[in-house]
Chain A
Amino acid sequence: MTELIENTLQLLNSSCAPEVMAVLDPNPSELMEAASILEHYRIPDSRSVKLLALFVLLELARKRHANVCFTSTCLTRKILDGDYFQSLYIQLAMQFEEMELVRYLAPQLKKYYIRQALGKDESEPLTFTLQAYLQAEQAAARKNRAI
């Protein structure tokens, strides 16, 4: 699992534009949890790295834009980082041919921002959403095999 996380962060480091000088500081416990979900669903290593990278970008985008205000330190950088990670998520999902994930997650992510904009704090952790996607994907694969 450590190798998966290391490879993921390495992939993200090389994917971020150098001028962004991005600091990749995902929440370690969420990262571990996401990695263990990928392991549980027996996702091949080569794909796990990509899925975990996409997960990290979404998590970082949320983190940077959480509870910002004019007195926040580095407000500008936080806003730009959040926007950049969000756009890089789409860019990499396309590159990794994971647009089905984007399609699945799009309404969930949108609803998250609606709740945040309306001042409602409650939200499902991203790891739940990742798990639901993998579950749905495997169910669809089983159904296809049965047909």
Chain B
Amino acid sequence: MLRLTAGRVGSLVARRATVALTTSSARMASHGHEVSEAVDMSKPMYWDRREIPLPDKRYKDILTPADKSLKEKEKGPWGQLSNEEKLALYRFSFCQTYPEMNQSSSEWKTVVAGVLYCIGLTGLVIIWQTAYVSPPAPRTFDAEWQAKQVKRMLDMRVSPIEGFAAQWDYEKGQWK
């Protein structure tokens, strides 16, 4: 139910900096291939953030020769570029558009479901505990004992003005 896959945990931890498509990040050679690429924070990084429209570096580092020729075309009049070319140029520099960045996710549903699930599990554990683990209740909890206790309280007129004994009708011998 809690679909916290490794990818989700990774994105929760490293949400701030999208690891750009680059080969220059350091790799922990001693740990084998399971460790994800360490982000080199001493170099300019790319972020998709509302308040930083132009991050320190372009998103796509490695440009194919076709991309490079498009970049050359960018030096000329922009009116000559088709919409697809303009979009391609945008995607070289940026990973997500503003609407994509700002879109809400359904993560909250997973969180609420997880919380309720844990509470439910805890409830089951407690039920099991009361059945199998807790010692028997003290004898003062027996119905018979409780009845005798109430009678004793009424006989000694506990809170006779506004409280306990005030609710008892002594003439009729019943609760008011």
| Interaction A to B | no
Interface residues of A (CB under 8 A from B): none
Interface residues of B (CB under 8 A from A): none
